[in-house]
């Protein structure tokens, strides 16, 4: 009898350490999320809540820039205009500790969809005169989407690889 009680106690104690099916499912994450590429053409994509934030470079003799486009994550993405005056980000070169502040401001109206309401924007531009075509960057932004601030990260971003415009003579 005493041995039986010890065995039952041991089973109960060991059984408490076993994960419950629901807990194991939560650790694994949702199973209905399909993997998708985080590049499209000359843009590197990052998740911004329910949307994608696409980063691309503009390399020019008179100064380099970075552009961010907010869009749906559909196969054929649609621009999403957010009620933001700017997006603040930080960039670091690979292997460097120096951090560069980026202020993404709304692109000129002729570079945005005509359907955007006043006070909203889907295409933001930041001057990056320090950036060179040979850099490899990590860019981190905080973007408010649907009332939540989302941390958006583009890692190993190559301005040359993701340049939508590359002028001869740009650094």
Closest by CA to 94, choosing from 156, 162, 163, is: 156
* 54 within 8 A of 37, measured Cβ to Cβ: no
The structure tokens 């980026």 sit at 102
pLDDT level of residue 165 (50, 70, 90 thresholds) = confident
pTM, entire model: 0.77
Q: Where exactly are the structural domains of the chain?
A: 39-166
d(CA 24, CA 78): 36
Residue 167 pairs in a beta bridge with none
Q: For residue range 55-71, what is the model confidence (pLDDT) as tens digits?
A: 999 999 889 999 999 99
Q: Where are the beta strands (DSSP E) in 17-162?
A: 39-40, 43-48, 51-59, 65-72, 87-93, 99-106, 123-127, 137-145, 148-157
* 56 within 8 A of 104, measured Cβ to Cβ: no
Q: For 39-166, which CATH class? A: mainly beta
């Amino acid at each position: 009898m005493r041995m039986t009680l010890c065995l039952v106690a041991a089973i109960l104690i060991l059984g408490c350490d076993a994960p419950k099916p629901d807990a194991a499912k939560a650790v694994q994450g949702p199973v209905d999320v399909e993997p998708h590429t985080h590049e499209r053409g000359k843009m590197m994509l990052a998740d911004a809540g329910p949307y994608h934030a696409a980063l691309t470079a503009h390399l020019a003799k008179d100064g380099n820039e970075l552009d961010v486009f907010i869009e749906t994550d559909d196969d054929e993405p649609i621009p999403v205009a957010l009620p933001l005056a700017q997006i603040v980000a930080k960039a670091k070169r690979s292997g460097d500790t120096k951090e560069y502040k980026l202020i993404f401001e709304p692109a000129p109206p002729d570079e945005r969809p005509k359907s955007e309401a006043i006070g909203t924007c889907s295409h933001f531009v930041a001057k990056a005169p320090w950036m060179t075509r040979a850099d490899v960057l990590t860019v981190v932004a905080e973007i408010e989407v649907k009332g939540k601030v989302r941390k958006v990260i583009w890692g190993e971003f190559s301005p040359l690889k993701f340049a939508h415009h590359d002028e001869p003579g740009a650094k």
